[in-house]
Amino acid sequence: LDTACVKAFRVPAGTLVEVFNTTLHYTPCMVDDGGFQVMVALPAGTNGPRPEAAADMPAAGDSYCYWKADKWVLCHADSPKAAEGGYVGLIGKNLDIAVD
């Protein structure tokens, strides 16, 4: 995914945002040293340990970026997630909404 196709934005304090399961997103994202408070509601089991596929199950087409249960990660080469072994699937400018 070319980051030139990405729209990064801030959400004002006190605003509720629904992110659909078909939307690529990253949350939360701290933008200053003041920190942040956020509530994220996820289906039970999400972000839990990554389940192992059964030996006879064919590899999923997107298994290379499967990070945890119900969580896929595409990251930029300059990100901490890439250093942790995340799939580098973002190319172009590494967006930073604290300065952009």
pLDDT at 4: 93
Residue pair 64/87 in contact by the 8 Å Cβ criterion: yes
Q: pTM of this prediction? A: 0.66
pLDDT at 55: 56
3-state secondary structure (DSSP) of residue 13: coil
At 33-79, the pLDDT tens digits run 777 777 778 888 888 887 776 555 556 566 778 788 888 888 899 98
Helix (H) or strand (E) holding 48: none
- The single residue listed with the structure tokens 């249960």 is 69
How far is residue 31's CA from residue 65's CA, in Å, rounded to a whole number?
Answer: 25
pLDDT at 28: 63
Helix (H) or strand (E) holding 82: helix 80-83
Residue pair 47/68 in contact by the 8 Å Cβ criterion: yes
